[in-house]
Structure 1
Amino acid sequence: MEKLPPLNAVRAFEVAARAGSFTLAATELGVSSAAVSQQIRNLENWFGKQLFVRSGNRIALTDAGHAIYPQTARALGDIAAIGRRMLEGGLRTRLVVSVPFSLAELWLAPRLAVLLDAFPRMAIDVRVEDDPVDVVRQNIDLRVSYGDYHYPALRMVRLVHDDVLPVVAPDFWQRHNNGASGLAEVHESLFIHTNWGPNYASHPSWADWFAASGGSRAPDPSHGRRVGLSSLAIASARLGLGIALGQRVMARADLEAGHLIALSSVSVRLGQPYCAFMAPAKAERADVAGLVELLSKTAPSTWGSRAPQDRI
């Protein structure tokens, strides 16, 4: 057998690198900070490389630390998965899926319904939470995130790179366009703006959409309706509260059913794709692979009888 590094030291390194602190790592491992520091020194001596730069109570990975962290995290995740399978007698009865708030109802739930047709007795645990989450320690089978950069130690599959386009309830448009020939003439109070929060800067705004359509209008969010979730923007438009920049994959069912219409074929792509993350040991499971395949399916190229209307 090939010579292995000290496994307790590897575990201390992985936790410290993930937590960004020897103190937090000590709390998670149930030992003292000095014990964590000693384990890290043991591993550094074994490799003959410095893994952390220490500055007072702060630590940062060196180039060598960055080089080994993804593999150590994957390896420990695989070992943990083996232990869980053995303890459960090789049987898995629950699929644990973690998603951001905006994706749960309009995007994930319909696809889970399809998955349950194939696995009718499957128990599913859907956790709605923002990044970051500890996929390994929380025993999450599949995490869906906006962006491909959150979990470098896990296997990643790009699901869909969505775009937004203007959507509105047909009755609302008939009542409130006031004879306007297009969105450039609509009163600012009729626009629904999505406030993505302080952690995101790559989501398109109404100003971005007008620029993509060849205009220069920039509706003022303070004069319109504002919501905190992209799914809530679509629901608000469906309920006749205004005109939203709806994400295509989330608005699909409402557009096909005629609850919403698209006012233009012009769309703006989101800054990042939606991606699935999973431990390598779980990626080949039939339920996980089946859900990844379902989530990878994008919206159809047509909207049934409700084709987008160019109302720029």
Structure 2
Amino acid sequence: MRIQSPSLVELHSFLAVARTGSFRRAAQELCVTQAAVSRAVARLEADLGQEVFIRGSGGVVLTPLGTDLQRMTARHVRALETAGMRLRKPRERLRLQLSVVTSLGNLWLMPRLEDFRRSHPEIGIEFRQYRHDEDFTREDVDLWIDVKRSLRQQWPRQIAARYLIGREILEVCTPDVARGIRCAQDVLRQPLLYHSAHPDNWNIWARAAHLDLAGQRLGCGFDLVINMVDAARAGMGVAVVQECMVHDDLRAGRLVAPLGIRASTGRGYYLCWRRAQAQHPASELFGQWLQQQALAPVSAAVRQ
């Protein structure tokens, strides 16, 4: 019988490009050359007789055929990778060392981490201390989840980084505080809780809400998002915060977004790793899982 399925090399290359939107980033993820990824995708397209990507100056997007191929193969390729690891290392547990921004780790990652552990019990995760002034030279970390602190920030040349989550902010408060908010102007009558490293987040939100904050005094400032969220939960005022940080609070009704006005800071959280790092199967699986979690819909409690 003639084999009808693409090779695993071709599928790995195709799926990596589909995930990252770039042949270059796919090559970095797979620890191969960009030319090797291009050749593998070209063989796949030649075998299928159709293109799986539309190439453009801004990257690549999936064709309808590519979308179908990704949907039908991604889960099975991940299962093969997992099976390979378990069979190859039956007595050795893979270890993955992470350094994660404190607030994101506590508010977003930890509530989801049990899902990864159930899916990949062969991978042990160890958390390393997060450093605000990280220079990415530590040998005790395989992956970082770090924050882009400004629009102009450049990652070190030896580091590859992929956007994960957290560009958008919105206003949140308790249901009791929200009862006094019927329009954007009402927000200014409440104490405005802010992140002390990014007080301009309120200006970004105000522009999206068509408000002028000139002369407006802010309320309490916090150096950690997790503390600002605690203050909002306690009814101390209204906070503007990344939606991912309050996903569970919004779903449970502890916090609401009374107006649901979202604005982009252009920053967000990134998954980072050393370009020269040898291929780490646990890192790849964890990175794919993170991306799936980040793409999961966030349903905020927005009062109508």
TM-score range with shorter-chain normalisation?
0.5 to 0.7
Deviations 1:108-139 (A, max 9, x none): 21232221112235432223423443545332
Go from structure 1 to structure 2 and tell me whether the alpha carbon gap of 1:132 and 1:217 turns closer, same or farther (over 3 Å shift). Answer: closer
Deviations 1:153-189 (A, max 9, x none): 1232221252110011113333xx2xx5334134655
CA contact (8 A) 2:184 2:211 kept: no
Unaligned runs of 5+ in 1: 1-73, 75-89
The alpha carbon displacement at 1:96 in A equals 0.9
CA contact (8 A) 1:189 1:225 kept: no
Go from structure 1 to structure 2 and tell me whether the alpha carbon gap of 1:172 and 1:245 turns closer, same or farther (over 3 Å shift). Answer: same
One-letter code aligned to 1:97: L
The alpha carbon displacement at 1:249 in A equals 0.9
Go from structure 1 to structure 2 and tell me whether the alpha carbon gap of 1:181 and 1:195 turns closer, same or farther (over 3 Å shift). Answer: same
Question: Which position in structure 1 is the counterpart of 2:303?
Answer: 309
CA contact (8 A) 1:167 1:237 kept: yes
Question: Which position in structure 2 is the counterpart of 1:60?
Answer: none
Question: Which position in structure 2 is the counterpart of 1:166?
Answer: 171
Does residue 207 of structure 1 match 2:208? no
CA contact (8 A) 2:193 2:220 kept: yes
- Kindly tell me the number of residue pairs found equivalent between the two proteins: 212
Question: Which position in structure 2 is the counterpart of 1:155?
Answer: 160
Go from structure 1 to structure 2 and tell me whether the alpha carbon gap of 1:133 and 1:191 turns closer, same or farther (over 3 Å shift). Answer: closer
The secondary structure found in structure 2 opposite 1:298 is helix
Deviations 1:38-76 (A, max 9, x none): xxxxxxxxxxxxxxxxxxxxxxxxxxxxxxxxxxxx9xx
CA contact (8 A) 1:234 1:251 kept: yes
Mapped partners of 1:170, 1:286: distance in 2: 45
- Summarize the alignment of residues 52-91 of structure 1 with structure 2, pairs less than 5 Å apart: 91=92
Once superposed, what is the RMSD of the aligned Cα atoms? Answer: 3.2
Mapped partners of 1:302, 1:135: distance in 2: 31
Could you tell which deviates more after superposition, 204-213 or 274-283? 274-283
Question: Which position in structure 2 is the counterpart of 1:238?
Answer: 233
Does residue 116 of structure 1 match 2:117? yes
CA contact (8 A) 2:160 2:273 kept: yes
Question: Which position in structure 1 is the counterpart of 2:213?
Answer: 217
The secondary structure found in structure 2 opposite 1:244 is strand
Mapped partners of 1:204, 1:295: distance in 2: 28
The alpha carbon displacement at 1:204 in A equals 4.3
Could you tell which deviates more after superposition, 184-193 or 94-103? 184-193
Question: Which position in structure 2 is the counterpart of 1:25?
Answer: none
CA contact (8 A) 1:151 1:277 kept: no
CA contact (8 A) 2:95 2:282 kept: no
Question: Which position in structure 2 is the counterpart of 1:266?
Answer: 261
CA contact (8 A) 1:98 1:126 kept: yes
One-letter code aligned to 1:103: L
Structure whose CA Rg is larger:
1
- Summarize the alignment of residues 227-306 of structure 1 with structure 2, pairs less than 5 Å apart: 227-280=222-275, 284-296=279-291, 297-298=293-294, 300-301=296-297, 303=299, 306=301
Identical positions, percent? 24
Go from structure 1 to structure 2 and tell me whether the alpha carbon gap of 1:262 and 1:128 turns closer, same or farther (over 3 Å shift). Answer: farther
The alpha carbon displacement at 1:92 in A equals 5.6
Could you tell which deviates more after superposition, 134-143 or 208-217? 134-143
The alpha carbon displacement at 1:302 in A equals 5.3
The secondary structure found in structure 2 opposite 1:96 is strand
The secondary structure found in structure 1 opposite 2:155 is coil
CA contact (8 A) 1:102 1:230 kept: yes
Mapped partners of 2:248, 2:298: distance in 1: 12
Unaligned runs of 5+ in 2: 1-30, 32-90
